[in-house]
Amino acid sequence: MESCHTYSLRFLVVLSLCMSLFSGADAEASMLPRPFNNNISAGYVFGDSTVDPGNNNFVQTIFKSNFPPYGKDFRGQTPTGRFTNGKLSTDLVVSYIGIKEYLPPYLDPNLSIEELMTGVSFASAGTGLDPFTAQISSVISLPKQLEYFREYKTRVQSAIGKKRMEAIIKDAVFLVSCGTNDFIVNYFTVPVRRKTYTVSAYQQFVLQNLKQVLQDLWDEGARRIAVSGLPPMGCLPAIITLYSENAILERGCIEKFSRVGMEYNQMLQNELNSMQGRLAHLGAKITYIDIFTPLIDMIQGLGKHDFDEVSHGCCGSGLVEAGFLCNPKSFVCMDASKYVFFDSIHPTEKTYTKLSMASRPVVDFMIQN
């Protein structure tokens, strides 16, 4: 039985770490061929720190990364609020499609109408599909992100008219990337949900909340929607550190957490396939993005030979540092491209690039007429 001290340590460290995941190297990203046929007007993103380019800079929360060493390999070595050393996967995807180089945060007050028209991210690091997850971290919930999207539509309509605004939404791609915090920060760390839900019941609860998000997006005009699955949560350096018997010597993945992610991902795939089948005649393209398989391959499979370090982050000791624990006073590795993870939770830009390349078939499907 865990002591109060052990529980409190896990709660504080996980709460200060787990905002979510992923990044890749500019050199590799520049080699990505772009599709010949670009029919996409804009990109819109909802979710957590896997896809938050800096919305939390404008929120009263500790879940921020707008300080070094974050952004050390970004243009101008700028810490933008992205939880990585460079670009996020969403930046790489909109660049591949040919929309623009970076997907900006919606809450940036300096965005022009032209920038807004080609898409933004509404994501907020630390959030989840369970409303309680956002409350724990004092960040932007998914319902609030959808509220911002409705506000966005009103702003764009005021500038260019309703007909043009609706055309942009119809021809845009939408991505939802969320769920890791629900399990790592919420269910397995804070005992509230565990008193009410079994793991399987909580998986269903999270999925039901996602289905509501997708229904709301559909009602707002979204027709091309991709949803990312969960990563192998047991392979995150912070989780290895917190839940291993001897985390210094034994850096293997914690199977319990990864198995929960695999089970949820299968449920998610089944639901998305069902939705696609029901709505295909209405022009829907609703699909699943697998990040679990390529990431586990980078860590445990043949792909691990592309990296020198797969179980420590580049920042600090690589064991627990993330968010404010990874800061200007932290030791930082010389070459982040040799690491799967930049901090103890979030991958490097090289990892994001490889994930983006792995998802290209899904992206190509989304942008076809």
Catalytic residue numbers?
49, 343, 346
* Beta-carbon contacts of residue 257 (< 8 Å; ≥ 6 apart): 183, 184, 188, 232, 233, 234, 239, 243
Peptide bond into 361 cis (omega under 30): no
Q: What six digits make up the tokens of 188?
A: 């397995």
Pair type for strands 224-228 and 339-341: unpaired
* DSSP-based helix, strand, coil % in the chain, nearest 5: 50, 10, 40
The torsion of the CA quartet 126, 129, 131, 133, rounded to 10 degrees, works out to -30
172-194: buried (b, 16+ CB within 10 Å) or exposed (e) per residue?
bbbbbbbbbbbbbbbbbbeeebe
Residue 44: exposure state from Cβ atoms within 10 A (0-12, 13-18, ≥19): buried
CA contacts within 13 A on the Cβ side of 59: 29
Return the H-helix or E-strand segment holding 292: helix 292-300
Q: How far is the CA of 172 from the CAs of 87, 254, 365, in angstroms?
A: 21, 38, 13
